[in-house]
């Protein structure tokens, strides 16, 4: 099975991390230059990988005064499975996770693929700008297909990165806080924007990925933490379940705990998780455990995670008590994204002389 590992990062990941550092400087200097678009598939509750990979950045960017749009990628649920599950309830849980993490529904736009027809229509011209060979080379799509076992590649699975280009460009997003698995998709979005402009005249800006300090958190089995792989610690899990999940996390046989992502990915991932929760340096967190071994490491990480998530979990329970919040937030967000995407499609059709 292909797995996305914590390290070593390849060249493109290294470049994206360096670019993210430049972007941080630009964000601090000139936040009004940016509009954020990012999103998640409604395939299950958000987990610690989301929190440290993208969600904390979404909240921070919102607090910097940047317009933030968050997509609920409902059409993408069926890329790697046959049915949508209990979609209304999954969407509600997904939004509660984000509101509890600090996204303010007065300032952040939440919307769904299925509610924004113009976004989906952009897929047609965009598909004409990429070759099948390019799509088949996408390493994330390959890894995700592998994770499904023996499923054949569907047309939607192969082309969903093009759909993501439509997500981003339809609403004019130019900053995309994502995990490392999304880098090939962002590169494709940039290619599509560039090729569209070459063919039809200046229309799109090329968006940038913004990576966090934890662009690829691993799950309890040592592969990318994912909603769909049964290896995640969900933000909404209770403290006992969090402890039980972390107790069975993969480690290694060396007693002294250290932070060496390339040589010891599983142990280093736990160290990073504890350090992020405590706001500490990973080396210092590892030194704090020293030669007390994996059990002590897991106990310390459990305590750090539960402590860090306590306010979020409390807010989440309060928000969940009001069933009116999520439908209202989505209705407002869908309407706003719809307006933005309609305007983009109109520009696209003008550029293509189709109006």
The residues binding ligand ATP (CB under 6 A) are 38, 40-41, 43, 49-50, 53-54, 178-179, 181-182, 215-217, 224-228
Whether residue 8 is preceded by a cis peptide bond, meaning omega within 30 degrees of 0, is yes
Do 48 and 273 contact (CB within 8 A), yes or no?
Answer: yes
Q: Measured from the CB atom, is 41 or 236 closer to ligand ATP?
A: 41
Q: State whether residue 317 is helix, strand or coil.
A: helix
| CA–CA dist 329, 108 (Å, integer) | 9
Q: Measured from the CB atom, is 76 or 121 closer to ligand ATP?
A: 76
Rounded least distance, CB 342 to ligand ATP, Å: 26
DSSP letters for 1-64: -----SS---HHHHHHHHHHHHHHHHHHH-GGG-EEEEEE-SSS--BHHHIIIIIHHHHHHHHT
Show the 3-state SS of 245-283.
Answer: HHHCCCCCCCCCCCCCCCCCHHHHHHHHHHHHHHCCCHH
| CA–CA dist 268, 156 (Å, integer) | 35
The beta strands (E) that lie in 185-237 are given as 208-210
Rounded least distance, CB 85 to ligand ATP, Å: 11
Q: Measured from the CB atom, is 221 or 254 closer to ligand ATP?
A: 221
Rounded least distance, CB 215 to ligand ATP, Å: 6
Rounded least distance, CB 276 to ligand ATP, Å: 11
**Residue of 27, 12, 99, 9 whose CA lies nearest to 66:** 27
Q: State whether residue 224 is helix, strand or coil.
A: strand
Q: Measured from the CB atom, is 169 or 348 closer to ligand ATP?
A: 169
The rounded radius of gyration (Å) of the Cα atoms in the chain is 20
Q: Measured from the CB atom, is 49 or 105 closer to ligand ATP?
A: 49
Q: Measured from the CB atom, is 138 or 182 closer to ligand ATP?
A: 182
DSSP 76: G
Rounded least distance, CB 47 to ligand ATP, Å: 6
* Segment holding 307, helix H or strand E: helix 293-320
Tokens at residue 21, please? 């550092």
Residues in the chain: 355
Q: State whether residue 177 is helix, strand or coil.
A: strand
Rounded least distance, CB 217 to ligand ATP, Å: 4
Q: Measured from the CB atom, is 186 or 348 closer to ligand ATP?
A: 186
Rounded least distance, CB 52 to ligand ATP, Å: 7
Do 13 and 183 contact (CB within 8 A), yes or no?
Answer: yes
Q: Measured from the CB atom, is 167 or 338 closer to ligand ATP?
A: 167
Q: Measured from the CB atom, is 217 or 348 closer to ligand ATP?
A: 217
Rounded least distance, CB 228 to ligand ATP, Å: 3
* Alpha-carbon separation of residue 76 from 126, 157, 268 (angstroms): 17, 8, 32
Do 66 and 104 contact (CB within 8 A), yes or no?
Answer: no
Rounded least distance, CB 102 to ligand ATP, Å: 16
Rounded least distance, CB 229 to ligand ATP, Å: 6
Q: Measured from the CB atom, is 125 or 185 closer to ligand ATP?
A: 185
């Amino acid at each position: 099975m292909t797995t996305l590992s914590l390290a070593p990062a390849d060249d493109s990941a290294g470049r994206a991390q360096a670019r993210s550092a430049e972007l941080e400087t630009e964000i601090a200097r000139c936040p009004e230059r940016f509009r954020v678009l990012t999103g998640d598939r409604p395939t299950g509750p958000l987990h610690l990988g989301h929190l440290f990979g993208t969600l904390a950045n979404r909240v921070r960017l919102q607090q910097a005064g940047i317009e933030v749009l968050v997509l609920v990628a409902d059409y993408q649920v069926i890329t790697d499975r046959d049915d949508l599950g209990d979609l209304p309830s999954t969407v509600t849980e997904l939004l509660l996770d984000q509101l509890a993490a600090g996204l303010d529904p007065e300032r952040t736009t939440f919307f769904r693929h299925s509610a924004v027809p113009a976004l989906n229509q952009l897929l047609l011209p965009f598909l004409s700008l990429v070759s099948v060979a390019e799509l088949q080379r996408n390493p994330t799509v390959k890894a995700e297909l592998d994770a499904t076992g023996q499923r054949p590649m569907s047309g939607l699975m192969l082309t969903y990165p093009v759909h993501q280009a439509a997500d981003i460009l339809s609403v004019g997003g130019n900053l995309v806080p994502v995990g490392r698995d999304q880098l090939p998709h962002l590169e494709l979005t940039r290619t599509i924007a560039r090729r569209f402009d070459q063919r039809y005249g200046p229309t799109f800006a090329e968006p940038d990925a913004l990576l966090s300090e934890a662009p690829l958190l691993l799950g309890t089995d040592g592969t990318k933490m994912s909603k769909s792989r049964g290896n995640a610690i969900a933000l909404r899990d209770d403290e006992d379940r969090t402890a039980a999940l972390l107790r069975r996390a993969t480690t290694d046989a060396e007693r002294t705990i250290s932070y060496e992502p390339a040589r010891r990915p599983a142990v280093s991932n736990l160290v990073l998780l504890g350090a992020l929760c405590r706001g500490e340096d990973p080396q210092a967190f590892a030194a704090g455990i020293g030669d007390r071994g994996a059990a002590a490491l897991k106990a310390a990480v459990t305590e750090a995670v539960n402590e860090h998530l306590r306010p979020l979990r409390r807010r989440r329970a309060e928000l969940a008590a009001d069933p009116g919040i999520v439908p209202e937030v989505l209705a407002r967000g869908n309407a706003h994204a719809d307006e933005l995407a309609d305007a983009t499609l109109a520009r696209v059709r003008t550029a293509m002389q189709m109006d």
